[in-house]
Amino acid sequence: MATRRTPASALSTEKAPAPAETVSDIRPAVPANVIVKLLSFTFAMVTLPIGSYFFTLNSLFNGNSSYAGGFAAMMANVVLIAYVVVAMREDQSERLEEEAKAKKAE
């Protein structure tokens, strides 16, 4: 195989411009309270339906696994709806705070 020759312009010894001296932003992209909220709802989504299934299987439904499974599915939907409601409220509160800041700036 032939060797590739780079053009003379690519071999230039010019240095790249020095980066501007500014303080870098080291904040995380996602706030910690959002991560905690997501992890808590994930934990609830895993444990609540399974726990409610085994709890109600023999105590409430006397061994009827169909009813216990239906109840577990209902509890999974409750966790999901609760997560959506919490996310919507958080989104609305952020929007209201931004509107309040905009009014103060005027």
Round to whole Å and give the CA distance between 28 and 85.
Answer: 25
51 and 76 in contact (C-beta within 8 Å)? no
Q: Is residue 13 part of a domain?
A: no
Q: Is residue 59 part of a domain?
A: yes
Domain count, the chain: 1
Round to whole Å and give the CA distance between 99 and 48.
Answer: 38
Q: Is residue 9 part of a domain?
A: no
The predicted pLDDT at position 99 comes to 83
Enumerate long-range contacts of 51-60, CB under 8 Å, 24 or more apart: none
What's this model's pTM, rounded to 2 decimal places?
Answer: 0.66
Q: Is residue 22 part of a domain?
A: no
CB atoms within 10 A of CB 23: 5
Q: Is residue 20 part of a domain?
A: no
Q: Is residue 44 part of a domain?
A: yes
**pLDDT per position as a tens digit, 44-78:** 999 999 999 999 999 999 999 999 999 999 999 99
**Distance in Å from the first CA to the final CA of the chain:** 69
Percent of the chain whose predicted confidence (pLDDT) is above 70? 84
Domain that holds residue 34: 29-105
Is residue 15 over pLDDT 90?
A: no
